[in-house]
Amino acid sequence: MTAVFNPSRRDMLKAAGALAAATLPIGDALAQIAVPFSAGTEPPKTAVPAHACDAHIHIFSMRFPASAHWKGQPVADSDVAAYRLFQQRIGTSRTVVVTPSTYGTDNRATLDGVAQLGASARAVVVVDLDVTEAELKDMAARGAVGIRVNFVTPQSWGVTTAERLETMARKVHPLGWHVQVYMTGDQIADHAEVLARLPTPLVIDHLARLLPGQGLNHRAVPVVRKLLDGGRTWMKLSGAYLNTTSGPPAYADATEVARLFAKAAPERMVWGSDWPHRGEKHMPDDAGLLDLLADWAPSEAARRRILVDNPATLYGFGRS
């Protein structure tokens, strides 16, 4: 078992400085640095193409307090300084920062992180029903390209309903944004008709959070397949450790699901690390999580599509 690493900001900046000053070959230098909130030290075995995107992370900073509604894990600095170490190790360069439940509808940490990361980053924000058009346009100017609607963890407004989901989708549709949903497999199955009629592109979090142990037999699988076949739904190949009973390193049960989705709509799959893995007692090895793509999408061309081309389309990155 790997102990959770909770470094101070000073530790992270010191490590970043050591990396910048290192004269060793990059692989040797990285092997001496533990990335905060991530097990292991080795880079991925799978080749990572230029402009690869990590399409799901969260930025936390103690400069921004948790929302009053949040009673879970407190805010700790898992900020841009720490994430840059992650990028050095994993090899990704583009990033999508998603506002976590911890912050409710306060998107300051997310947008501040995107500002620091620059043109290589985009934001997916969380907003309430009373958000104004001017506020949405301001966030769009600062890198926001979508909203997240969470049915799983506590939200500042209380219970998330289908009505809220539809209302929010109509509100952001004029901006050309997508709607990202965090739902369990059962919730996806229960809301199949609502999800199919949303006016925006739909992004499903974390392999659809199918109940571990059911996998491909879960009743949400045909629902997700139908949504993917409709041509406007995207899937985040992320969170294997959230959808498993078999566990690392192969996550065999989650891998079965990921293979199915990646084959069904390879042009609408994106990969995300879910760093800094909030709530996990034992940090996953992020290099290992990326290496799972070699099993989920065996060809180099398919992995380039998932890591580079698809995120460029969904999040508006320039093509290279």
User: What per-residue confidence (pLDDT) applies to 26?
Assistant: 43
**DSSP state, residue 306:** I
- List per-block mean pLDDT (blocks of 10 residues) for the chain, which spans 320 residues: 37 42 40 80 95 98 96 94 96 97 97 98 98 97 98 95 98 98 97 98 97 90 97 97 94 96 97 96 95 96 97 86
Condensed to tens digits (0 to 9), the pLDDT of residues 90-119 reads: 999 999 999 999 999 999 999 999 999 999
Which pLDDT score is estimated for 91? 96
Per the CB < 8 A criterion, the answer to whether 28 and 89 are in contact is: no
pLDDT value, residue 34:
77
Give the per-residue SS3 of 14-35.
HHHHHHHHCCCCHHHHHCCCCC
What is d(CA 87, CA 79) in angstroms, rounded to the nearest whole number? Answer: 12
Residue 5's pLDDT is what?
A: 34
DSSP string over 176-208: T-EEEEE--HHHHHHTHHHHHH-SS-EEE-GGG
Q: Identify the pLDDT of residue 213.
A: 84
pLDDT per residue over 112-165, tens digit each?
Answer: 999 999 999 999 999 999 999 999 999 999 999 999 999 999 999 999 999 999
**Of these residues, 106, 253, 274, 285, which one is catalytic?**
274
Burial of 35 (0-12, 13-18, 19+ CB in 10 A): buried
Are the beta carbons of 44 and 91 closer than 8 angstroms? yes
Q: Domains for the chain: give ranges and CATH numbers.
A: 9-315 (3.20.20.140)
- Predicted local confidence at residue 33, as pLDDT: 61
128 has catalytic annotation: no
* pLDDT score of 250: 95
Q: At what angle do helices 108-117 and 80-90 cross, to 10 degrees?
A: 50
